Chains A and B, each alone.
Chain A
Amino acid sequence: MTAPLHLTLDWADWLNLFGHFLTLSMMSVGGAISTTSEMHRFLVDQHHWLTQDQFNQSIALAQAAPGPNVLFVALMGWHVGMNAGSTAAALFGVLVTMVGIMTPSTIITYTAARWGHRNRELRAVRAFKQGMAPIVIALLLSTAWIMASSAAAGTGTVRDVLAHWPLWLTVVVSGLVIWRTRIHLLWLLAAGAVLGALGLI
């Protein structure tokens, strides 16, 4: 467990947070989840507005709940606000992060969708779509790595991996099972929750 945070956020900080999510929104090709490693860098490493636990918990809780995965962003905003001291700030955090992550991508998508649909055979459109694929994959794998190593409370060095081998094994096995089978995700989340609650990983 990392120690709880007590933040004092002024308007410049909130604006900074909002601006960061606005930028992330424009870069979220492949979904908000592909910008997660950048959120981690900004919120946890750089500004210390979120703890590792809160960061991981935001993603885990949003996955366990129904609805689009992007709601993990709302939980990050919630935690930043709670760290700043009140439920009102937490709700404000939800507003700031969700409006930030949704607005630019919504406007871009809405205005460009028809154009993209009409011109989907255009060379530039195909080049963009196919050329971005390796990066989208790299971003997803980076997120998996950062989540796993921070869940293991480590930095991802070989020693950390060995010290927390049951957790890493869980990551790899669940990844392989999800990749290769059509099992419902809830079963795996439940299994992870039980293993964790029993203190096995």
Chain B
Amino acid sequence: MNAPPRTDNTPRTDSAAPPDRPRPRSLSDLFVSFTLLALQGFGGVLAIVQREVVDRKGWLTQDEFIEDWAVAQIMPGPNVVNLSLMIGGRYFGFAGAMAALAGLLTVPLMLVLALVVLHDRFADSAAVAGALHGMAAVCAGLIGAAGLRLVNAFKKSPMPLSWCVAISAAGFILVAFLKCPLAWVLSGLGGLGCILTYRRLKA
């Protein structure tokens, strides 16, 4: 697959990527690699992807990984799923994207269904219900922490910090308390954020 034409002058450490650099050998190599990768990731697999694909397999350089990750975040869909589509697609086109995606989802899906069947069998147990209850509390914390981590993005935003916080706060109130449909909030407040950012980027 040819590298896309570069339209900017930012330096790139891999500009002379060696032709013999590692790459997935086949569709089944992609499928197996992403299956193994998914099975290592509890509570999200993004950190694992970086370690496996960049550090161990060398399919992507660190720079390529960061760029691909940025695109994966812009696109709808889970970041790690998007990243797998991009990596698989780069080497084997659409078939590669599907192989990577299938690897990421198939075995973990079967595992999680086995887990829920097991859970339903013991659902009457107060201890099991309590354990799930406790895990839900931790997950609420986890998701909140994921949000707080992203607050760093405010520093890089062309918008003033106060605008970012105001949009976030308004979004939180609309969704958490007023139960507004997501489509309105995304197109309204999200659109407002994009327009404000666009205007500030010009300056």
- Near B by CB (< 8 A), chain A positions 114-143 give 114, 116-121, 123-143
Interface code A136-157, partner B: CB below 8 Å = 1, 0 otherwise?
Answer: 1111111111111001000010
Q: How large is the interface on A (under 10, 10 to 19, 20 to 34, 35 or more residues)?
A: 35 or more
Evaluate contact between B44 and A69: CB separation under 8 angstroms: yes
Complex Cα distance, B115 from A147, in Å, reads 21
B7, B120, B142, B171 pick with most chain A CB within 10 angstroms: B142
A-B contact count (CB 8 A): 392
Is there an interface contact between B42 and A179, defined as CB atoms closer than 8 Å?
no
Bound-complex Cα distance A184 to B53 (A): 21
CA distance A136 to B10 in the complex (A): 28
Interface pair B7/A119, CB less than 8 Å apart = yes
Give me the interface of A with B, judged by CB distance under 8 Å: 1, 23-33, 35-38, 41, 45, 53, 56-57, 59-71, 74-75, 78-79, 82, 94, 98, 102, 104-106, 108-110, 112-114, 116-121, 123-148, 151, 156, 167, 170-179, 184-186, 188-189, 191-199, 201
Can you pick out 21 interface pairs between chain A and chain B where the beta carbons lie within 8 Å of each other? A31-B77, A35-B182, A38-B181, A61-B132, A67-B111, A68-B38, A75-B112, A79-B116, A82-B120, A102-B105, A118-B5, A118-B7, A134-B164, A135-B171, A140-B144, A143-B143, A147-B136, A171-B137, A173-B141, A185-B42, A197-B130
